[in-house]
Amino acid sequence: MLALDIRNLNKKYPHFQIKDVSFQLEKGYIMGFIGANGAGKTTTIKSILNMVQVDSGEIYILGKNIADHEIELKQEIGCAFGDIDFYTRSKIKTLTDITKKFYKNWNDETYYNYLKRFKLDENKKIAELSRGMKVKYSLALALSHGAKLLILDEPTSGLDPVSRDDLLDIFQELIIGGEISILFSTHITSDLERCADYITFIEHGQIIASSEKNELKESYRLLSGSEAQLNEVREHLISYKINSFGFTGLIHAKDIDPSSSLRATTPSLDEIMIYFAKKEDVYV
Amino acid sequence: MIVTISNTSEKPIYQQLYEQISAQILKGELESGYCLPPIRQAALELHVSVITVKKAWEELERSGLINTVTGKGCFVAEFSPDEMLRIRNETVLKQMESDTAYYKSFGLTLDEVIGLLNKIY
Q: Could B52 and A214 be called an inter-chain contact, meaning their C-beta atoms sit closer than 8 Å?
A: yes
Across the interface, which of B41, B49, B55 has its CB nearest the CB of A176?
A: B41
The pLDDT score that the predictor gives to residue A130 is 84
Determine whether the interchain pair A212/B51 forms a contact, defined as Cβ–Cβ distance below 8 Å: yes
pTM for the full predicted model? 0.87
CA distance B83 to chain A (A): 31
Give per-residue pLDDT as tens, B82-104.
888 888 888 889 889 988 988 98
Query: For B54-84, what is each residue's pLDDT tens digit?
Result: 999 999 999 889 999 888 889 999 888 888 8
Q: Which domains does chain B have, with CATH numbers?
A: 1-78 (1.10.10.10), 83-121 (no CATH)
Query: What pLDDT score was predicted for residue B17?
Result: 94
Query: Quick one: pLDDT at residue A18?
Result: 93
pLDDT given at position B64: 87
Q: What is the interface pTM, i.e. ipTM, of the complex?
A: 0.80
Phi and psi (nearest 5°) for B3?
-135, 130
pLDDT of A280 reads 67
* Interface contact flag, B51 A214, Cβ < 8 Å: yes
Taking the CA of residue B74 and the nearest CA in chain A, the distance in Å comes to: 17
Best probe of the A interface among B7, B10, B44, B105, by most A CBs < 10 A, is B44
Q: Chain B: nearest CA to A171, how far in angstroms?
A: 9
pLDDT at A189: 87
What was the pLDDT predicted at A282? Answer: 54
**CB neighbours of A12 closer than 8 A, spacing ≥ 6?**
A55
pLDDT at A284: 43
Q: Please give chain A's pLDDT, 284 residues, in tens.
A: 899 999 999 999 999 999 999 999 999 999 999 998 889 999 999 999 988 899 999 999 999 999 899 999 999 999 888 677 778 889 999 999 999 999 999 999 999 999 999 999 999 999 998 888 888 898 899 999 999 999 999 888 878 888 888 889 999 999 999 999 999 998 888 889 889 999 999 999 999 999 999 999 999 999 998 888 888 888 889 999 988 888 999 999 998 887 777 888 899 999 999 999 888 665 44
Residue A124's pLDDT is: 93
Long-range own/partner contacts, residues B77-80 (CB < 8 A, 24 or more apart) = B77/B32, B78/B32, B78/B33, B79/B32
Whole-angstrom Cα distance, residue A40 to residue A46? 10
DSSP 8-state assignment for residue A84? -
pLDDT at A258 (0 to 100): 75
Q: Find the CB nearest A197 among B41, B44, B51.
A: B51
List the domain boundaries for chain A.
2-216, 219-283
Query: Which of the listed CATH numbers 3.30.110.40, 3.40.50.720, 3.40.50.20, 3.40.50.300 matches domain A2-216?
Result: 3.40.50.300
